[in-house]
Amino acid sequence: MIRKRVLIVDDYPVVRDGLVSCIESTDYFSVCGTAATAAEALGAVKDLKPDLAVIDLSLPDRHGLELIRDLDGSVRMLVLSMHEERDYAERALNRGAHGYIMKGEPTDKVLSAMREVAEGRRYLSEAMTQRMLEIATRRGGRSSTERLTDRELEVFERIGNGMTTAQIAEELGLATKTIETYRENIKAKLELQNATELVRAGVLWVEGLQRDRNVPPGGAPTA
């Protein structure tokens, strides 16, 4: 059997090496290349023509969602990220990705997700599939955050985690004034009056995410 060719896109060498080891241990996949940046990934897809690209969202030169949009369906794409699925999966699929799985999942699940996507299907966790069905039939709750751009959502999450403007700018590699502009945009879109309301809204939103992570669909909080 001809093995499916995989391109790994992640800026951490240890992650890339670990994925290479796992993938090469299978009879179904082989790694045709790796990339540490979005620019490298664009070139690799063009030159190597992989069957599947496994893409992290946190890349040093551009956000992974921008890379997915630029690839424009030229390759099957599975997002493998630490970013919470409930916040980014729908955005990733809307831009052209075919699946989303978090890095905390067991290796066999990651490989299963890769196979699903490589064979022409989509992959999401059961919880996210249910959530997207609910969203499709009932828009509400914290859906106001859907008005935010991908970068604004990144900034908003960091505000909720207690980071200052300077800290956010340093972590995202952006100018402080750029983060201040994002803060103003977020306030306008979420109809918040001042910085205090912005911080409070961010904290409440992050707390809501943390609660959701501990509550399975239709169940009680996990221990």
- CA-CA-CA-CA torsion for 210, 216, 220, 221, nearest 10 degrees? -30
β-sheet bridge partners, residue 33: 7
pTM, to two decimals: 0.67
DSSP state of 11: S
Q: Where are the domains of the chain?
A: 4-133, 143-213
Length of the chain: 223
Q: Which of 3.40.50.150, 3.30.530.20, 3.40.50.2300, 3.40.50.720 would CATH assign to domain 4-133?
A: 3.40.50.2300
Over residues 77-97, mean pLDDT: 88
Angle (CA) 96-98-102 rounded to 5° is: 115
| CATH 3.40.50.20 for the 143-213 domain, yes or no | no
Over residues 143-154, mean pLDDT: 82
Over residues 50-72, mean pLDDT: 95
Tens of pLDDT, residues 23-54: 999 999 999 999 999 999 999 999 999 999 99
